[in-house]
């Protein structure tokens, strides 16, 4: 069958020369390439001793934000889960009870909210879809874990602590907000 590209090469059965049979020129050529790289700037870093500087809008692990008064912003509308191409987000909605106004901003909230980080491809579509500015990705890397269950992040690891707020101002710029809500 005719190939789709002209990249394929016909196999040659010609006998190897003496030099080709002892492989020395090929080995020396390979070593030369290796030595050339010794003096070049390394692309790798010795993590965790060394860390890279990430862009302010790097897409790392998620955070569920609280409002200024400390109430959870998420209203469990499910738009992030619908937008997620990896189907990594699941949640259970509950109705806010009297006296819980300081805990949840809206009348409906997510009593369970989970992200399966093994499925997540860190595309950021959940962040874009959220109409409540509740979910953001952060510059924080995902911690390693030996167990699969350790990659299911529930609210205990997603909702930001009241006394340790996560700064998302670099992602939630006025330009981003106006594009999100006016386009």
List contacts with ligand SF4 (CB under 6 A): 74-80, 83-86, 88-89, 115, 120-126, 129-130, 132, 134-135
Q: What are phi and psi of 127, to 5 degrees?
A: -60, -40
The nearest distance, CB 122 to ligand SF4, in angstroms, is 5
Rounding to the nearest 10 degrees, give the CA dihedral for residues 153, 158, 161, 165.
Answer: 140
- Helix (H) or strand (E) run with residue 155 in it: helix 155-158
Beta strands, E only, 16-137: 62-64, 89-95, 108-116, 135-137
Q: Considering beta carbons, is residue 27 or 82 the nearer one to ligand SF4?
A: 82
The nearest distance, CB 153 to ligand SF4, in angstroms, is 10
Q: Considering beta carbons, is residue 37 or 73 the nearer one to ligand SF4?
A: 73
Q: Which of 65, 64, 91, 67 is nearest to 77 (CA)?
A: 91
The nearest distance, CB 92 to ligand SF4, in angstroms, is 11
The nearest distance, CB 106 to ligand SF4, in angstroms, is 8
Q: Considering beta carbons, is residue 19 or 121 the nearer one to ligand SF4?
A: 121
Q: Considering beta carbons, is residue 71 or 135 the nearer one to ligand SF4?
A: 135
- In angstroms, rounded to a whole number, what is the distance separating the alpha carbons of residues 177 and 58? 18
Cα dihedral sign for 146, 83, 140, 73?
negative
Q: Considering beta carbons, is residue 75 or 139 the nearer one to ligand SF4?
A: 75
The nearest distance, CB 148 to ligand SF4, in angstroms, is 17
């Amino acid at each position: 069958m005719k190939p789709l590209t002209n990249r394929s090469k016909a196999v040659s059965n010609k006998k190897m020369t003496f030099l080709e049979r002892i492989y020395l020129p090929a080995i020396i050529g390979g070593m030369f390439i290796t030595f050339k790289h010794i003096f070049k700037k390394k692309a790798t870093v010795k993590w965790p001793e060394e860390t890279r500087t990430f862009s302010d809008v790097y897409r790392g692990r998620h955070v569920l934000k609280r409002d200024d008064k400390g109430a959870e912003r998420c209203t469990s509308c499910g738009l992030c889960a619908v937008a997620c191409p990896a189907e990594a987000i699941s949640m259970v909605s509950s109705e806010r009870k009297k006296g819980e106004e300081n805990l949840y901003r809206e009348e409906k909230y997510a009593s369970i909210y989970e992200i399966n980080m093994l499925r997540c491809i860190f595309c950021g579509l959940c962040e874009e879809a959220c109409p409540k500015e509740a979910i953001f990705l952060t510059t924080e890397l995902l911690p390693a874990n030996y167990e699969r269950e350790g990659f299911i992040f529930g609210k205990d690891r997603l909702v930001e602590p009241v006394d340790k707020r996560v700064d998302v101002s670099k992602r939630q710029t006025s330009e981003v907000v106006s594009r999100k809500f006016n386009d």
